[in-house]
């Protein structure tokens, strides 16, 4: 996705939310064809997330393969 599309999708997924949860980068990364890490880093570069947001995820358990599968399974249901 181009930067404008990422920004629009980001705003859509975060509207009304006070936190950027692990679910959000998983869903957005699937839409973008990237990984959650790549998506978070791209959002940082675009100014959509604070710098070092990915570092926060890593310091707090990261985004695991099990979490990715759980989010994907919920999306399929």
| 43-69 tens-digit pLDDT | 999 999 999 999 999 999 999 999 999
> pLDDT tens, 13-49?
889 888 899 999 999 999 999 999 999 999 999 999 9
Tokens of 9: 């999708």
Cβ neighbours of 17 (radius 10 Å): 9
Is residue 74 over pLDDT 90? yes
Residue appearing with tokens 């990422």: 6
Q: How far is CA 14 from CA 8, 28, 60, 65, 66, in A?
A: 10, 11, 20, 22, 22
Q: How far apart are CA 24 and CA 53, in angstroms?
A: 13
Q: What is the pLDDT of residue 77?
A: 86
């Amino acid at each position: 996705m181009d930067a404008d599309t990422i920004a629009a999708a980001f705003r859509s997924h975060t509207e009304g939310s006070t936190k950027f949860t692990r679910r959000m980068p998983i869903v957005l990364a699937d839409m973008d064809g990237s990984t959650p890490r790549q998506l978070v880093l791209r959002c940082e570069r675009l100014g959509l997330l604070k710098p070092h947001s990915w570092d926060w995820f890593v310091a707090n358990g990261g985004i695991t393969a099990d979490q990715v599968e759980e989010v994907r399974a919920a999306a399929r249901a």
